[in-house]
Amino acid sequence: MTNGSSEYDIVCDNLVRIYQTEGVEVVALQGLDLLVKPGELLAVVGASGSGKSTLLNILSGNDVPTAGRATVAGHDLLEMSGSNRAAYRRDVAGFVWQQTARGLMPFLTAAENIALPLLINSMSRAERTARAHELLELLGIAYCADRRPKEMSGGEQQRCAIAVAVANQPRVLFADEPTGELDSATADDVFAALRRTNEELGTTVVVVTHDPGVAEHVDRTVAIRDGRTSSETLRRTELTAEGHERVVAEEYAVLDRAGRVQLPREFVAQLGLRDRVRLELEPDHVGLWPGHAGQDGERR
Amino acid sequence: MSIWTLLKRGLLTHRTAAIVLALVVGVGAFLGAAGPRWIDDRLDHTLQETIAGSGDTAQVSARETSDVIPARFDSEIEDLRESVAPELGDLLGAGRWSVSTGARSFGTLNDSVVDDGLRPRRLEVRVPDALDRLVEVVDGDLPASVDNTADASIIDVVATRPVAEALRLEIGDVVSFERREPAGIQAVDPNESARTPAVRLTGLIEPTDPGDPFWSDARVALEPDLGAPGAEPRITTGALIGRRDVLQPWLTATADTVDTEWHVAIDPARADNSEVEAVVAELRRLSTATMWSSGLVDTLERYPAQRSAAEGVVGFGMISMAALCVTLTLLSARFLAERRRDEALLARTRGATSVAVARLLVLDALVLSVPATLVGALAAVLVVPGGWSGLGTLLTAVPAVVAVLAVPVMTIRAARGAPAAADERADVAALRPSARRLVGEAAAVVVAGLGLWLAGTRQPGAGVDPVVSLVPIVVAGATGLVIFRAMPYLLAALMPVLRRTETLTAFLAVTRAARAPAHAVLPVIALLVAIGVATFGGTVRASVDDARHTSSWNAVAADAVVTADAIRVDQEQITSIPGADAIATGTVFPFQRPINLDNGRATGLDVLAVDVPAWQEVTASAPGRPDVLAALSGPTESGAPAAVLKGRVDVVDVGDQLEVTLNKDTTAVVEVVAMFADVPGSTSGTTLVMPLAPVADAAQPWPDVMYISGEVAAESVASTLGIATDDVSLRADVLESIYGDSVLNAVLDVFMIVTVVSAVLAAAAAVMSLAIGERVRAYGLSVLRTMGLTTRQSAVLTASDVIPVSVVAAAAGIGVGTGVGLVIADALDLGALSGALSGGAMQAVTDLPSAAVAAAAVLGAVVLGIVGAVVSGQRRTEVLRS
């Protein structure tokens, strides 16, 4: 089931997800908006409980939103039937777990694990074998082809899991804290693998993490706070006057379709903003001042 | 922590696992309490029915002859009663007693001729303990008192009308007892006339209760014994009945001896196994002493053997059921332990010692298992009649004790490692078992083999034998271990083939089973035990069924056997018997004297010559040739025709050659190949059964014996042959009698129910053990689902995962159940269970179709349960969130 524009691989519009946990209602996502273009390498960051894993589960087809709209590669995630959802997970969305060995069958070798989704997709044996070895080469773990997960390091396992996730050439790869259990050097290897996947296979990659340092590895970082996207950091590479490459990162607040903006927490704290703020429209920007009485008086 | 908190915690945290444990303990307690109660009650009830059905024969009588000392009369009676075992007295109660005296010769004063003087005869004067309650007067009066004015040796008596008529007595007549030696009537000394015993008939009576054991004694029969049928009627025994208070003066006057007798009916309601065993043992003792007993021994003599055989097989069922209950409890304890592992881990990280955690878990298990045990036991008491026994109490408590011990031990063990490592530990253990583990498993296999060998050497009739009872389960468990170790290597051989296929499920299932078999070990063993137990039950049942048919064939050696003195009908008439398919005839040559060629001695016996080839045709539909015919059909060492001997003769042994001369000029030599206690078709005593062919010339044109195959009716056979219906014996009647044995049927019912319950418990254990692996299985599925595995594929994959393991377990279970059944059939005393007490050991037979059906049923239940759980689980959660 596909619809919508092909301009974006991921469209989330006012996405809401409410859980019932032991009688308690938990609002994990409360009107989240997100747009991701094809071929982007995106990180979703946020504190624990901010809703980023919920978002990833929804986008990967493992959970269903309560309200709003979510489409991935034109697939409406609210309207999908069970069989369509399985096909979506098979062909459109790849998934990498936080636990390095989680995405792998412990009794299969690396090559067999990579061939498994291809087998699910009824691909021929020759194609399976060729594709598995291609991915093993791409991710730099060809030497692990005949090893079982227990015989591989954490980084190797996670790269193998990435290979498994992209075996069926999905449009989007979702990774849930893929480096959460790895040391920094190994984490760099894994991110390199994700970037290679993104660049060489053209797969849109969405990485969820609570580690702000991840931003160094991706082009765009979306921060989620209290179930909503709060800000985005865009990274680009520039040449300095001396001809050196320089990475420039700029953080933006996200403006939703209703015109709402989440101010960064440190801005709020530093200016003591609470309850109400005063806005002033300037020719090229919007000015914002604390709105409590004392300050109001001073401004007046 | 308060009880209420514990209760809440026990019931509200990890509710499913807690409920499963409570349920298993409760069901185990119920079965433990109900099983012994129901089985004892069922067998005793059947015994009581048997006793009630045996009517007058279910009584005991004892008698002792002594010189009477009237003053000690009461103590004589008491001594008699005390001479039997207390158990007998307890069972039988006070009973009835009587005293009798009489004479071997007598004459009537009314000149009736009642005896020809050629045979012994006895006229009894019997004095029961309560005449007034025992009889009703139909004519005349009850005896009043001693006739003091005339002669103290004359007493008043009453008699039944048949006795009075046989003695040609009328009311008022006097019978004098004449002292006479066997050689002839002795002249009565006139001086002794006052001491001549005599009785006077005052009335005719009928018994108030004809069922009173007093009347069932043949010597107090309501009708007199008139001698042999067909001969001139004469009285050999007849009883006149007097009042107790006339006894002492009469005995004083006559100085005669008396027989004191005590006889009682067995109250079926009070008969249970232990008492009947004591009674039978006591009656056997009494029957060899001076006392005398009734037909009770005959009625019940089969019961102890059958009961013993029953206890053997039921013991197997009880022990296997208990073992399975314990296994199920262990599995459910492990189920709960896995759920509470994180909790225990958390407690340990916060500084709780193992002892403190164990104490909490013990209380936890107590909160769950004690109420469940009480409820189970209470339900058993309410639902199942019977009494408590030590075994019942033990079996009731076992599940709770096991749960209380297992929950803390398993939880603490599970919490020792990290959660992730705990998931994988089983695989490591399976692939690279420690040397200690391997030695332990090898020892278990050796012990199982040893147990099987020991069970095979056991003799029948030992009752509950723990070795025999445990062997099926132990062997099944050992076989499961062997399969568990061998299966990965077998499956690994399939993997290269499967790797080339496009079949996901088969590849994944076999690869997993070959490379990570730990998840399969418990289901394999539990399923194997389930199917093994069911198959074992089927083997025993089929063997008993086969033994029953074999018994019927041995008893009749045809569908019908006709035995008459010369069946004088034409051959055409013989062949026109309605329903007869084949007929074999035999001729009896009475009073022959064959000569034993080995020792030159002759012996007198009858010869039954049978057309053996025709007899073989008659028995073509039998599962095997009847023993007699098989012996007659076999080869002999000497080459002479085979013959068998019915009964035993001092001068003939097996292997001897006999020269048989019939009608002076027909001679044949036969070799005796076997001896039998009975041969169908032979009604006389010692009989030589031989083929007809060598002596056919001597045979008369009319057969004496006919063996018939086909669906024939006794009446049509009798009318066609012009003989009495009683001359026709049908195998169907014998079979009906065997199948109608209520004790045996009760035993088999009990056995089958216990077997079925055991199989159900084992199947539940299999499901439980699969449920334990559900987390790992669900995890594997969740990973695959992220790759796009559909619900249908998940179900197929789960089925593919479970089915190979289950099929292997089922096949092994059938093999184990059948093999163990064949090996230990003798120890289970199939002969006694088949109703053939004297036929020797019965051959066990297999029942593979039934075993396959049972295996398919258990297998189907398990697979459906697991696949259903997978599908419903996925529907319930809609999408995967793991």
Q: What is the mean pLDDT of residues A140-165?
A: 88
Check residue A263 and give its pLDDT: 82
Report the SS3 class of residue B876.
helix
Q: Which helix (H) or strand (E) holds A220?
A: strand A220-225
- The verdict on B430 and B409 lying in the same domain is no
Statement: residue B777 has pLDDT above 80: no
Instruction: Search chain B and give the residue with CA nearest A100.
Output: B420
- Taking residue B290's Cβ as centre, other Cβ atoms within 10 Å add up to 10
- The verdict on B666 and B784 lying in the same domain is no
Choose from A84-98, B145-159, B795-809 the range with maximum mean pLDDT: A84-98
Lowest-confidence segment of B15-24, B49-58, B485-494 by average pLDDT: B49-58
pLDDT interval class at B522 (50, 70, 90): low
Check residue B373 and give its pLDDT: 92
pLDDT interval class at B869 (50, 70, 90): low
Choose from B84-93, B207-216, B461-470 the range with maximum mean pLDDT: B207-216
Statement: residue B539 has pLDDT above 70: yes
* A2: contact with B, CB 8 A cutoff: no
What's the gap in Å between the CA of A139 and the closest CA on chain B? 19
- Sign of the dihedral defined by the CA atoms of residues B19, B21, B23, B26, in that order: negative
What's the gap in Å between the CA of B4 and the closest CA on chain A? 21
Q: Write the CB contacts of B259 (distance below 8 Å, at least 6 apart in sequence).
A: B63, B64, B65, B99, B100, B101
Q: What is the mean pLDDT of residues A221-228?
A: 86
Angle at B5 between CA B1 and CA B7, to 5 degrees: 120
Instruction: Search chain B and give the residue with CA nearest A57.
Output: B881
Q: What is the mean pLDDT of residues A28-53?
A: 86
Between B653 and B219, name the one with better pLDDT: B653
* B778: contact with A, CB 8 A cutoff: no
Check residue B419 and give its pLDDT: 43
Instruction: Provide the CATH topology of domain A39-59+82-252.
Output: Rossmann fold (3.40.50)
Statement: residue B178 has pLDDT above 60: no
Which residue in B817, B863, B824 sits closest to B842, CA to CA?
Answer: B824
Report the SS3 class of residue B65.
strand
- The verdict on B679 and B709 lying in the same domain is yes
Residue A161's φ and ψ, nearest 5 degrees, are -65, -35
* B877: contact with A, CB 8 A cutoff: no
Q: What is the mean pLDDT of residues B74-96?
A: 55
Q: Give the mean pLDDT of chain B.
A: 72
Asked if A120 and B789 come within 8 Å (Cβ–Cβ), the reply is: yes
Rounded-to-integer distance, Cα B857 and Cα B446, Å? 31
Strand partners, B135: B207
What's the gap in Å between the CA of B792 and the closest CA on chain A? 9
Between B830 and B786, name the one with better pLDDT: B786
Q: Which residue, B237, B265, B293, sits at the end of a domain?
A: B265
Statement: residue A66 has pLDDT above 70: yes
Which residue in A162, A214, A210, A166 sits closest to A188, CA to CA?
Answer: A214
Is residue B560 a part of any domain in this protein?
no
- The verdict on B48 and B192 lying in the same domain is no
* B881: contact with A, CB 8 A cutoff: yes
Chain A residues with CB under 8 Å of B780 CB are 105
Q: Is the ipTM of this complex over 0.95?
A: no
**Mutation for A interface: B777, B787, B801, most A CBs within 10 A:** B787
Check residue B690 and give its pLDDT: 92
| Strand A41-46 relative to strand A220-225, pairing | parallel
Q: What is the mean pLDDT of residues B767-778?
A: 67
- Taking residue B136's Cβ as centre, other Cβ atoms within 10 Å add up to 12
pLDDT tens for B284-319 read 555 444 444 444 555 555 566 666 666 666 666 677
Which residue in B711, B345, B764, B720 sits closest to B559, CA to CA?
Answer: B711
B161-166, long-range: CB < 8 A, 24+ apart:
B161/B204, B161/B206, B162/B222, B162/B223, B162/B224, B163/B222, B163/B223, B163/B224, B163/B238, B163/B239, B163/B240, B164/B201, B164/B204, B166/B114, B166/B223, B166/B224, B166/B226, B166/B233, B166/B235, B166/B238
CA distances A233 to A52, A176, A250, B674, B764, Å, are 16, 19, 5, 106, 58
- The verdict on B534 and B427 lying in the same domain is yes
Between A252 and A110, name the one with better pLDDT: A110
pLDDT tens for A236-289 read 777 777 877 777 777 788 777 777 888 877 888 888 888 888 888 888 888 888
**Mutation for A interface: B427, B777, B786, most A CBs within 10 A:** B786
Check residue B427 and give its pLDDT: 39
Statement: residue B409 has pLDDT above 50: yes
Q: Which residue, B265, B289, B305, sits at the end of a domain?
A: B265
Q: Domain spans of chain A?
A: 39-59+82-252, 264-299
Choose from A122-136, B218-232, B354-368, B772-786 the range with maximum mean pLDDT: A122-136
> Considering only residues 30 to 59 of chain A, which have any Cβ-Cβ distance to chain B shorter than 8 Å?
57
A224 in Cβ contact with A262 (< 8 Å) = no
Chain B residues with CB under 8 Å of A108 CB are 511, 515
pLDDT tens for B13-39 read 677 788 888 888 998 898 888 877 877
Statement: residue B721 has pLDDT above 70: yes
Structure tokens at A125: 């044996």
Give residue for tokens 């349920």: B23
A222 in Cβ contact with A190 (< 8 Å) = no
Chain A residues with CB under 8 Å of B519 CB are none
Q: Measured between CB atoms, which of A63, A85, A90 is closest to B787? A: A90
Statement: residue A83 has pLDDT above 70: yes
Check residue B617 and give its pLDDT: 92
- The verdict on B702 and B797 lying in the same domain is no
Check residue B264 and give its pLDDT: 58
Q: Which residue, B245, B265, B285, sits at the end of a domain?
A: B265
pLDDT interval class at B123 (50, 70, 90): low
Check residue B735 and give its pLDDT: 85
Chain B residues with CB under 8 Å of A147 CB are none
Is residue B499 a part of any domain in this protein?
yes
Check residue A96 and give its pLDDT: 87
Which residue in A182, A164, A186 sits closest to A173, CA to CA?
Answer: A164
Count of CA atoms in the C-beta half-sphere (13 A) of B167 = 35
- The verdict on B102 and B231 lying in the same domain is yes
Check residue B548 and give its pLDDT: 81
| Structural domain containing residue B179 | 60-82+89-265
Check residue B294 and give its pLDDT: 46
- The verdict on B385 and B252 lying in the same domain is no
Chain B residues with CB under 8 Å of A119 CB are 502, 504, 507
- Please measure the distance between the N-terminal and C-terminal CA atoms of chain B and give it in whole angstroms: 34
Chain B residues with CB under 8 Å of A64 CB are 878-879
- The verdict on B742 and B719 lying in the same domain is no
Between B870 and B234, name the one with better pLDDT: B870
Q: What is the mean pLDDT of residues B568-593?
A: 84
pLDDT tens for B224-258 read 555 444 445 455 556 777 776 766 666 665 555 55
Count the domains in chain B.
4
- Taking residue B758's Cβ as centre, other Cβ atoms within 10 Å add up to 30
Lowest-confidence segment of B571-585, B680-694, B758-772 by average pLDDT: B758-772
Rounded-to-integer distance, Cα B511 and Cα B491, Å? 8
pLDDT interval class at B174 (50, 70, 90): confident
Check residue B401 and give its pLDDT: 92
Instruction: Search chain B and give the residue with CA nearest A86.
Output: B788
* A90: contact with B, CB 8 A cutoff: yes
pLDDT interval class at B670 (50, 70, 90): very high
* B871: contact with A, CB 8 A cutoff: no
Asked if A106 and B511 come within 8 Å (Cβ–Cβ), the reply is: no
What's the gap in Å between the CA of B432 and the closest CA on chain A? 14
B474 in Cβ contact with B467 (< 8 Å) = no
* A21: contact with B, CB 8 A cutoff: no
Instruction: Search chain A and give the residue with CA nearest B789.
Output: A86
